[in-house]
Every structure is written in structure tokens, then in C-alpha cells.
Amino acid sequence: MVGTNVNILFQNALKIIEEELSSLSFSTWFDEVKLIELKDGIATFQVPMAIHKKQLSNNYYDIIKEALNQVTGTNFDLEFLLEDEINVNKEQTSTQVSIQEEEVGVPSTFLEKSNLNSNYTFDNFVVGNSNKFAQAAALSVAENPGKMYNPLFLYGNSGLGKTHLMHAIGNYITNNSNRKVLYVTSDQFINDFININKKDERGTNYNYVDFFKNKYRNIDVLIIDDIQFLGGATQTQQEFFHTFNTLYDDSKQIIISSDRSPDDLKLLEERLRTRFCWGLTVNIFPPDFSLRTEILRKKILAGNFEQDIPEDVIEYIASNIGSDVRQLEGSITRLVAYSTIMGGASITLDLAIDALKDFINKGVSEKNDIARIQKIVAEFFQINVEDIRSKKRSANIAFPRQVAMYLCRVATSESFPKIGTEFGGKDHSTVMHSVEKIENEMKVNQDLANIIDKLKKDIG
């Protein structure tokens, strides 16, 4: 298989590879690499210089192979060729990777690129009920950095678009002003901080201190992703506290993301959590069915695939793949890869069912299972699934628990006693009571009826 699709598959594999490497290594070794062909179990790459052959086959072979496998579901052997060799060897079946030391040149790109990902913009962020508040808040911050909401704290489960929105803010600001934006994950912050404390023989490593101060203080916008990983590193928290204060006092915009709310960042110092709530805290929720289909449609358009993907296939994916947008994207890639590997077979519902059976089967075996419903309901209300299964009686847990019990009753064939045991050992009359209560409430409360409807769709 050759052409656009190969390129699309490789772009997806590159995203996976990029996550594994430092940005310097990634841009050095992968910027100018092209995937030329996937054929007879061999993936052929064109590389710019001989040194790339050596690096890629010695140090990155497994990473590339694994990434291609994740995207295509197929194991390929890898072959790296220079442009000349591709033209000369076109007819030859296989070429050994052999490099003479003296061929080895120096790669051109040793400069670190901007750490913002230009693919993540507001334009390609699809907005629906579950994320419209987050998107609006992000856009206001992008338009008025340091003025509207400081800090902006975005939280929600993995795969719901937090990182996307943060890069979108950064890209918007750099495209519309001269402000300096720094995007880091809390891991990178911790690493930089650890480097400061590496002492040389004389005591402190002043270069690193300067580097750190310059990197984190000499900016206008700090975007820090996945702050939950800062928990536990006490000294780093103190340093982050100082960084935060310095920037904040200077009216520099700070944007933070996390997989949970500031209150639930138990490992973080109180004074940090308090500061995180000074600005605006926004929760981003899992996409409902209609947003899932919308996202799929947009991704398909943006993907420019050779084949059409019909509406029934989109609905099939949207109703079977839950809430993680990353998985929605993965399913399209898998589908296109499958069709292409099958010689360009047109994408029908049957083909989709076949192509996605690994993806979706997992879902089916759990389908209508109590644990799955508990997870979906907990996700929706942003509480811990353990709490739903516990005896805790606080209202913020009791109500979602009643909703979950109701859904278990209508969406599974489980008995009242069985449902009771799965919800903190309640007896069957409590379950019956909860189910009745939700049924009655739905009749008079349209909002609740809508929520239940949406959850039912999510359950499938």
C-alpha cells in the first residue's frame, strides 16, 4: 500500500513515538523521515542521512515497530533507505541496512522547536454540551491572557481534550501577540527542578539555576499539564509555589490541567490547592453520543482518507466506543488501515465490525455489566467509582448511586438483591426504593430525564 493512507498511518504512528521521546530526539531523528511503503510485511522508510539509518535501526527500531503495530494492528519489519537507494533499488526485494562509519553525517536540526503542538487549535476542537464551558473559558483566556481568569484550571478524565485545549490557548496567544508561552507537563517541571539541585564539585550548579529561572520566570504564559503528577514531590511543589507566585504577581497567565479537581489533589499542599481556585476551575465531561458522532465526522474530514466512511459506520463506532476521544480517533485509524491492508476494500458496516472487533469486543463483554454502568455514572458525575460502590451517604455520592442503581435495573437483567450487593451491600428494598425514586423524579424533572437518556446512550 502506497500513497496518502500510508502517510496518514505514519502521522498517527509518529504521534505515539513523539510521546516516548524528548522533543529534541524526536525532531532530530524523525522530522525528515517518510514512510514510503507497507508491503509484504515490510515497512520501508526514507531517511535523510546515513546517520539516521543507524540511529533508527539501533535505537528506535522497537519503538517504531510498536507504534506501527498499535496503529495498523500488524507487525512490520522495518527497512530504512536513503532517497538514492530507493530509486536504485526499486525493483530489488530487500535491502540490508549497512552503514559505513564515514558516511555518518551530522543531522541539521539540533535546535529545539517550540513545544506547542500546532495541530491542536480551537478550529479543530469540536464543541458540545460536555465541553462547551471549558472551550469558552479557554478561548477567553486566549483572548485576554492574564486578565480574565487566572489561573485557569481545567480538569477531567483522560482523553477528553484538556491537552488539546491548552495547546489551542498557547497557539492562539503566540499567533496573535508577542507573548512568550511555555507549555510543560508537570513531569518536565520536576525534571528541570531536579537538575537545578544536581550540585557540581563547588556546590551548586549555577548554570542550571539560571536556566531554570530563565525558562520559568521569563515568560508571559505558563501552561502546565497533568499537575496531579506534582503530588508527592514536596520540594518541587515549593518551587512551583514560588514560580506560581512570581508569575501571578506579574499578571502572567497560568493554565493548569489535572485529571481531578483541586480539592481531590490530596498530595498537593493546601496553599497550592487554594491558589488553583483563585481563578476559574472548569470541569470537562465525557462527550455524549451526538458529540462523539460529530467528532468522528470532523476527524474523518480532516483525515482526507481515500475511502468514504458511511454514516452507519460512524454511528456504530459512536455507540460502541465510550467516552475517550483518543479511542474514537484510534478506531478510525484502525478502520482505514484495515481497509487499506485489505487492498482498498470499501468501508462498510460489516468491514467496520470486523476491523474493530478487538476494540469493541472488550466493551461488549462488559456491556450492561453493573461495574461498567457504575464506571460510566461515576465518570459522568466526576466522583470515584469506589464511592459509588461504598456505603458513603453524602448527597454528592448518594444521588449518583441511585441513578446508577436505576440504570442497572433497566439496562441489565440483574436482580434487586444482586444490584444491592454491588452497591455497598444495600438490601433489595433499598434498591427498589431508589429505582422508584428516580423513576418518579424523572417524570417531573426534565434535566434528570435528559441525563438518564444520555447515560443510557453511553451505556449502549
Binding site for ligand ADP (CB under 6 A): 120, 124-126, 131, 158-164, 295, 325-326, 329
Q: Which does 126 bind (CB under 5 to 8 A by kind): Mg ion, ligand ADP, none?
A: ligand ADP
Helix axes 234-249, 206-217, angle to 10 degrees: 50
Q: Residue 202 CB, nearest distance to ligand ADP (Å)?
A: 42
| Nearest-approach distance from CB 114 to Mg ion, in angstroms | 18
Give the nearer residue to ligand ADP in terms of CB position, either 163 or 243.
163
Cis peptide before 151 (omega within 30 of 0): yes
What is the CA angle 211-217-221, rounded to 5?
125
Q: Which three cell numbers stand for residue 132?
A: 462547551
Give the separation between CA 62 and CA 73, rounded to whole angstroms. 15
For the beta carbon of residue 127, count every other beta carbon within 10 angstroms: 17
Q: Which does 236 bind (CB under 5 to 8 A by kind): ligand ADP, Mg ion, none?
A: none
Comparing CB distances to Mg ion, the nearer of 53 and 162 is: 162
| From ligand ADP, Mg ion, none, interface partner of 325 (C-beta below 5 to 8 A by class) | ligand ADP
Q: Which residue's CB is nearer to Mg ion, number 185 or number 374?
A: 185
- Number of residues that make up the chain: 460
Smaller CB distance to ligand ADP: residue 131 or 331? 131
Q: Using CA atoms, how far apart are residues 377 and 459, in angstroms rounded to an integer?
A: 9
Kindly tell me which of 224 and 318 has the beta carbon lying closer to Mg ion: 224
Q: Which helix (H) or strand (E) holds 258?
A: strand 253-258
- Give which of 80, 52, 68 is closest to 16, Cα–Cα: 68
64 interface partner picked from Mg ion, ligand ADP, none, CB below 5 to 8 A per type: none
CB atoms within 10 A of CB 452: 19
Show the cell assigned to 328.
474514537
Q: How far is the CB of 294 from ligand ADP (least distance, A)?
A: 8
Least distance between ligand ADP and beta carbon 18 (Å): 12
**Cα atoms in the 13 Å half-sphere on the side-chain side of 236:** 19
Residue facing Mg ion at closest CB distance = 163
Among Mg ion, ligand ADP, none, residue 145 binds (CB under 5-8 Å by kind): none
Tell me the C-alpha distance between 42 and 325, whole Å: 30
Q: At closest approach, how far in Å is the CB of 74 from ligand ADP?
A: 22
In the block, cell 481531578 appears at 260
Strands (E), 390-452: none
- Size of the residue set binding Mg ion (CB under 5 A): 2
Partner interacting with residue 12 (select from Mg ion, ligand ADP, none; CB below 5-8 Å by kind): none
Closer CB to ligand ADP, 193 or 285, in the complex: 285
| Of 377, 416, 418, the residue nearest 397 (C-alpha) | 377
Closer to ligand ADP at the Cβ: 158 or 207?
158
Supply the minimum distance, in Å, between the C-beta of residue 115 and Mg ion.
14
To ligand ADP, the closest distance from the beta carbon of 326 in angstroms equals 4
Going residue by residue from 124 to 163, which x/- string records binding to Mg ion, judged by CB under 5 A?
Answer: --------------------------------------xx
Look at residue 458 and give the partner it binds from Mg ion, ligand ADP, none, a contact being a CB closer than 5 to 8 Å depending on partner kind. none
In the complex, residue closest to ligand ADP by CB: 161
User: How far, in Å, are 39, 64, 67, 164, 328 from residue 30 at the CA level?
Assistant: 21, 10, 13, 22, 26
CA dist 98 and 152 (Å) reads 52
Nearer residue to Mg ion within complex by CB, 131 or 320: 131
Interface positions, 160-179, toward Mg ion (CB under 5 A): 162-163
Look at residues 236, 231, 247, 254 and name the one whose alpha carbon lies nearest to residue 193: 236
179: its cell numbers: 507573548
Question: Phi and psi (nearest 5°) for 185?
Answer: -90, 160
For residue 417, the minimal CB distance to ligand ADP (Å) is 38
In whole angstroms, the minimum distance from the beta carbon of 298 to ligand ADP comes to: 6
CB 15, min distance to Mg ion, A: 13
Burial of residue 51 (number of CB atoms within 10 Å: 0-12, 13-18, 19+): middle
Nearer to Mg ion (CB atom), residue 149 or residue 155: 155
Which among Mg ion, ligand ADP, none contacts residue 329 (Cβ within 5 to 8 A by kind)? ligand ADP
- How far, in Å, CA of 120 to CA of 163, rounded? 8
User: Smaller CB distance to ligand ADP: residue 159 or 322?
Assistant: 159
Q: Applying CB under 5 A, which residues contact Mg ion? A: 162-163
